Copies of this chain bind each other. A is one copy, B any other.
Amino acid sequence: MLLHLDFSSDIPIYIQIRNQIVMGIAEGKLAAGEKLPTVRALSEECGINMMTVSKAYQLLKQEGYIQTDRRAGAVVKHPEKQTGPRPETIEGLKLRLSELRLAGMTIEDTLKLCRTLYEEGEA
């Protein structure tokens, strides 16, 4: 579990943790059923407070990405394919596509980039 936290970022730490775990699952670095570090272990490893990690786990649990058990700790959930993407995901994607367009990227460049990013987590 290697997290890269940027303490000078605008993005709160617990959101950074949440995001990196979501990407980790999508990339297969974290397999379904795999145990996540305990909140105590991860907080010590990162040099942050226990409750900050707990906040990230609670968010991930609420969003359905992980499951927490009193004793077993936090475990990566098997994705339920029924659930479509959340509205925030679509809206966030739209924003990034807008930024890419304004940065001068064509639709073809953009799709190529998306494919590359998508496939990076399949190796």
Q: Whole-angstrom distance between the alpha carbons of A81 and B102 in the complex?
A: 8
Size of the A side of the interface (Cβ < 8 Å), in residues, is 41
Q: Are A99 and B103 in contact (CB under 8 A)?
A: no
Q: Whole-angstrom distance between the alpha carbons of A23 and B80 in the complex?
A: 31
For residues 64 through 107 of chain A, which have their beta carbon under 8 Å from a beta carbon of chain B?
65, 79-86, 89-90, 92-105, 107
Q: Mark A10-48, 1 if CB is under 8 A from B, else 0.
A: 000000000100110111000000000000000000000
In the complex, whether A114 has a CB less than 8 A from a CB of chain B is yes
Contact of A102 among B25, B82, B96, B97 (CB under 8 A): B25
Q: Are A100 and B96 in contact (CB under 8 A)?
A: no
